[in-house]
Amino acid sequence: MGKSFLSAGCEKFISCRVLYLFMIFSRKIELRGHIVDSGILTKVMDCVVEYNGDFETEEFTLGQWKTDPSYARMRISAETHDQLARIISELRCLGVFVLDEAEITLQNVNKEKVAPEGFYSTTNHPTYINHLGEWIAVDNMKMDALIRVDIKKSTATCVVQGKLLPGDSVVVGEEGVHVDFPERPREIGVFEFMGGGISSERPSKTLIRQIARELLHIKASGEKIAFVGGPAIIHTGAADALSAMIREGYIDVLFTGNALATHDLEYSIFGTSLGMDLHTGELVSGGHSHHLYTINKIMDAGSISAAVKSGIVKNGIMYECIKNHTPFVLAGSIRDDGPLPDVIQNVIEAQDAMRKHIPSLGMVLMVATLLHSIAVGNLLPSHVKTICVDISPASVTKLLDRGTSQAIGMISDVGILLPLLLAELRELSAYNAGVFPHCPECTRHISLKGVQQ
């Protein structure tokens, strides 16, 4: 019968529910790290119970201090081989080490874009493969992809199915694959404070200041910030705030579509968005055609960059991207008018263009655009911190459910949020530069020096 123990500070016993002698198929697993306070150990036990298996805790060492790792070795048992395989498959996603792990199985691709049957489908967590007796890290992790192995170089890369070529070697099955499930961070920051949840009631100013502080910390560490935005940013009057964030170096890359770019350019050229004067809130006579006139002007110029250089466009989000050499990706859709000449109408090419910027990102702000945000979220590894903002609670919920380990959602009017975020970024940056030497709210010394564009 399984052993049991009582962990410190807990009243829940870890115990087996099924007599071990009836379980004839078993494998041993190990868990290392902050497995108790991250809830990973509990998830492992719940998973075994859910699939009618059994576990025997053979060894357990609890970390004495908050920063100390814990260790557990368990024997997982099941009545049939298939049942055990299913349990182990689920446990792999939680980051367990399967003892006596065999090496990966590789099969060659015979036809372009067609993978071998039973190929391994990736998560967006850090992943390693056991190849030739060595654990190799898989590069460019994203969810719902495959692992391609360069046998000569002993390297592994996450690749989407559409990029497979004849002769490629891909991982088949789960044996020899280890997923590093994210643990709870040791420091309590805004992401831990929110607990991956959605905010509509927490103090907005406090939360925005925490987000600003985290953004500056990521910038100072050398990682970059991406912004995913929708046209509501223009309609709500937040374009000036986003323009300033780009100009002042807080945003490193912009992911958006034809709509935001078109209405931003319309605002620069005509002072309207969807034909409405953003200063008075009144519809302008004939203004419903302004976005089409805008596209026509940019088409005539040849590109957004050419329109900026010729003086047609004198301010705005796209203007600041051009002037400050901030890269942007405009991904097209079937809804687009025009579209603008800079829009990438082939969605695969648009994915590739965004994917080039993913490895350097530490945070992504997803603001007022559901579809573009989901598209970018699917490309992100789980360690990238994500801020999801929308006026619709349903949209925020969908955006949070993208597999990232560190995400928070805010139900807010972007026209209010972005100016507040800009103000906090400026105040914190000024304090860090010594302009406000007695700011009691700023506890972490962060500087953008050397990382601004």
| Among the ranges given (15-24, 68-77, 164-173), the one the predictor scored with the smallest mean pLDDT | 15-24
pLDDT per position as a tens digit, 304-353: 999 999 999 999 999 999 999 999 999 999 999 999 999 999 999 999 99
Residues 410-418, mean pLDDT to the nearest whole number? 91
Q: Are 102 and 157 in contact (CB under 8 A)?
A: no
Fold of 190-432: Rossmann fold (3.40.50)
Q: Which CATH class is domain 1-100?
A: alpha beta
pLDDT per position as a tens digit, 122-162: 999 999 999 999 999 999 999 999 999 999 999 999 999 99
> In sequence order, what are the beta bridge partners of 171?
106
User: Cα angle at 262 between 284 and 416, to 5 degrees?
Assistant: 75
Q: Is the pLDDT of residue 196 over 60?
A: no
pLDDT per position as a tens digit, 430-442: 988 876 544 444 4
Among left, alpha and beta (phi > 0; psi -120 to 50; other), residue 13 is beta
Q: Is the pLDDT of residue 6 over 50?
A: no
pLDDT value of position 37: 85
Residues of each domain in the chain carrying CATH 3.30.70.2690: 1-100
Q: Are 198 and 190 in contact (CB under 8 A)?
A: no
- Residues 6+ away with beta carbon under 8 Å from 203: none
Environment class of residue 66 by beta-carbon count within 10 Å: exposed (0-12), middle (13-18) or buried (19+)? exposed
Amino acid symbol at 446: I
What average pLDDT does the structure give for the chain? Answer: 87
pLDDT per position as a tens digit, 29-81: 999 998 998 889 999 999 999 999 999 999 999 998 888 999 999 999 999 99
Q: Could you tell me the sign of the dihedral formed by the alpha carbons of 372, 373, 378, 381, in that order? A: positive
Q: Is the pLDDT of residue 98 over 50?
A: yes
pLDDT value of position 59: 96
Q: Are 421 and 428 in contact (CB under 8 A)?
A: no
What's the pTM value of the predicted model, to 2 decimals?
Answer: 0.83
Residue 408 — pLDDT band, cuts 50, 70, 90? confident
User: Which DSSP letter does residue 266 get?
Assistant: H
Residues of each domain in the chain carrying CATH 3.40.50.10690: 190-432
Tell me the CATH architecture of domain 101-180.
Beta Barrel (2.40)
Residues of each domain in the chain carrying CATH 2.40.420.10: 101-180
Long-range Cβ contacts of 403-406 (<8 Å, 24+ apart): 403/123, 403/124, 403/143, 403/377, 404/124, 404/377, 404/380, 405/125, 405/182, 406/182, 406/185, 406/191, 406/196, 406/382
